[in-house]
């Protein structure tokens, strides 16, 4: 590994914003609300929060600590401690390809809706009309691919320009803006008449709804939403200075991330009930519901335009973190030219994403067994690749690096890690066993689904 002086974040805030920028994205605003709808409401939310606290946050700390300790990105970090673990880097790259391939599909939808918001086409509270716009988009390969291409191009342009300029500066304005807007939308959504049913659906868990499937989706969603399991947080953590407090960072990012998801849930689900949409709608939920909420607000169109603009930025700060991981592998490990690599990798991911985009069109041939390519990429990335990556991260930090070394690293910045024993115990036993049980099930189901 060549020794290079590493950039540091220009401030602690820069790191937190960039890491939060990676974490907060379509996973929170688009995926969380619709997953709550599909997976049965409050019970899924409760399980999500449980997994977040006992698995997500401990692993976030593990990832950032591993990065800061080695001062290397995901590939070097594993390799520098144990050569046999270099394969985790390859897994991260594969994972990045698959996630970004379908992430850019949804990114494209957001761009198209932004355009529609400007032209005023979304201005309706009629469920049928709004569903029509979504179906119209889904049945037009031209629109889907064009907007997906634009989304990938935006991602590529930012990554070509390097980590700081791109990531840090844009997060500072957009993240707070997104929060403010989400809160305003949630306030409107919960005050619509008939929203109470939705609030209950979100908050009151019906534990009989918890199945292995729901558990799998909730855990996969924790990893997806926190950007854990493909090395983003290891890489970002490697840019942190030795004096930074890792504990507060590892807690504040998941807290911000979860707040964003919950507020997005409150912005979407109560409105679904109040305005007569279908809560189990699936991936289209946000796109058909939120325009109706805007249409019921004074100056709705302005809010609608601002919202989709903020979501574009939030998804770009996430997509650049995925592309960055893939690109830095070929640049750091294989010594290739950064610009060339970014263009090539970006183009390949775009190509890989086309079948995902087209697979949701009626009668599409992009299906494997009973799964559309879109769902397959989604399940493959969250439930299989990320969960595997998170499992390996856990084993690595707990048993190869050892929690003792990790705690030493955490305490080197003069913080008193009071819960060090609890964290070590979770990381050595509870997290790996829990994740393993779910993971085995995911492998089984995924294979079965392919052959159906």
Please say which residue, 31 or 79, places its beta carbon nearer to ligand TRP.
31
Measured distance CA(137)–CA(146) in Å, rounded: 11
Pure H helices in 120-168: 127-138, 141-160, 163
Please say which residue, 318 or 372, places its beta carbon nearer to ligand TRP.
318
How many residues are given for the chain? 452
Measured distance CA(424)–CA(220) in Å, rounded: 22
Using the 8-state DSSP alphabet, how is residue 209 labeled? Answer: G
Question: Do the beta carbons of residue 321 and residue 22 sit within 8 Å?
Answer: yes
Using the 8-state DSSP alphabet, how is residue 371 labeled? Answer: E
Please say which residue, 107 or 270, places its beta carbon nearer to ligand TRP.
107
Question: Do the beta carbons of residue 9 and residue 242 sit within 8 Å?
Answer: no
How many other CB atoms are there within 10 angstroms of residue 263's CB atom? 23
Question: Which residues fall within 8 angstroms of residue 148, CB to CB, at 6 or more apart?
Answer: 104, 105, 107, 108, 350, 353, 354, 357
Please say which residue, 70 or 318, places its beta carbon nearer to ligand TRP.
318
Please say which residue, 188 or 216, places its beta carbon nearer to ligand TRP.
216
Please say which residue, 28 or 442, places its beta carbon nearer to ligand TRP.
28
Question: Do the beta carbons of residue 204 and residue 309 sit within 8 Å?
Answer: no
Rg (CA), the chain: 21
Matching residue, tokens 């790996």: 432
Q: Which residue ranges make up the site for ligand TRP (CB under 6 A)? A: 22-23, 25-28, 99, 224-225, 227, 229-230, 232, 318, 321-322, 386
**From the CB of 83, what's the least distance to ligand TRP, in Å?**
24
Matching residue, tokens 């605003």: 29
Output 82-86 pairs: Cβ under 8 A, ≥24 positions apart: 82/396, 82/400, 85/392, 85/396, 85/400
Q: Which residue is nearest to ligand TRP (CB)?
A: 27
Matching residue, tokens 């190869």: 400
**From the CB of 295, what's the least distance to ligand TRP, in Å?**
26
Please say which residue, 20 or 185, places its beta carbon nearer to ligand TRP.
20
Please say which residue, 20 or 427, places its beta carbon nearer to ligand TRP.
20
- 391: Cα separation from own chain's centroid: 17
Angle at which helices 196-203 and 246-275 cross, to 10°: 140
Q: What HEC string does 85-109 produce? A: HCHHHHHHHHHHHHHHHHHHHHHHH
**From the CB of 421, what's the least distance to ligand TRP, in Å?**
29
Residue 385 corresponds to which tokens in the numbers above? Answer: 């690749």
Question: Do the beta carbons of residue 112 and residue 137 sit within 8 Å?
Answer: yes
**From the CB of 48, what's the least distance to ligand TRP, in Å?**
13
Measured distance CA(335)–CA(173) in Å, rounded: 34
- 219: Cα separation from own chain's centroid: 12
**What are the b/e assignments for 336-374, b being 16+ CB within 10 Å?**
beeeebbeebbeebbebbbbbbbbbbeebebeeeebbbb
**From the CB of 28, what's the least distance to ligand TRP, in Å?**
5
Smallest CA-to-CA distance from 32 within 316, 357, 285 is with 285
């Amino acid at each position: 590994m060549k020794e290079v002086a590493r950039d540091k974040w220009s401030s602690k805030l820069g790191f937190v914003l960039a890491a939060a920028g990676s974490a907060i994205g379509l996973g929170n605003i688009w995926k969380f609300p619709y997953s709550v709808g599909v997976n049965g409401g409050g019970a899924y939310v409760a399980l999500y929060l449980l997994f977040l606290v006992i698995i997500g946050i401990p692993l976030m700390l593990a990832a950032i600590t591993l990065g800061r300790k080695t001062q290397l990105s995901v590939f070097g970090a594993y390799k520098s401690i144990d050569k046999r673990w270099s394969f985790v880097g390859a897994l991260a790259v594969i994972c990045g390809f698959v996630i970004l391939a379908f992430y850019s599909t949804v990114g494209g939808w957001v761009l198209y809706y932004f355009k529609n918001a400007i032209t005023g086409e979304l201005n309706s509270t009629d469920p049928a009309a709004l569903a029509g716009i979504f179906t119209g988009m889904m049945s037009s390969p031209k629109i889907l691919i064009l907007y997906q291409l634009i989304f990938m191009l935006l991602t590529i342009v930012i990554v070509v320009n390097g980590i700081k300029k791109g990531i840090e500066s844009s997060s500072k304005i957009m993240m707070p803006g997104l929060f403010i807007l989400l809160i305003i939308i949630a306030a409107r959504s919960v005050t619509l008449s008939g929203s109470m049913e939705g609030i209950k659906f979100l908050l009151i868990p019906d534990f009989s709804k918890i199945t292995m499937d729901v558990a799998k989706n909730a855990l996969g969603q924790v990893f997806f939403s926190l950007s854990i399991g493909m090395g983003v947080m290891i890489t970002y953590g490697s840019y942190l200075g030795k004096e930074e407090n890792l504990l507060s960072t590892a807690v504040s990012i998941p807290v911000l991330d979860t707040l964003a998801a919950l507020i997005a849930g409150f912005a979407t689900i109560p409105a679904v009930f109040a305005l007569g949409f279908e809560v189990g709608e699936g991936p289209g939920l946000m796109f058909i519901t939120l325009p109706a909420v805007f249409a019921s607000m004074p100056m709705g169109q302005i809010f609608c335009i601002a919202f989709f603009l903020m979501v574009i930025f939030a998804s770009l700060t996430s997509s650049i973190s995925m592309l960055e991981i893939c690109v830095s592998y070929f640049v750091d490990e294989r010594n290739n030219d950064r610009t060339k690599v970014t263009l090539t990798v970006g183009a390949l991911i775009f190509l890989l994403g086309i079948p995902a985009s087209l697979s949701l069109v009626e009668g599409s041939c992009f299906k494997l067994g009973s799964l559309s390519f879109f769902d397959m990429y989604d399940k493959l990335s969250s439930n299989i690749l990320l969960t595997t990556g998170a499992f390996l991260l856990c084993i690595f930090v707990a048993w190869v690096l050892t929690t003792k070394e990790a705690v030493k690293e955490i305490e080197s910045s003069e913080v008193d890690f009071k819960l060090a024993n609890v964290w070590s115990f979770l990381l050595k036993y509870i997290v790996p066993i829990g994740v393993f049980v779910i993971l085995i099930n995911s492998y089984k189901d995924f294979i079965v689904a392919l052959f159906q």
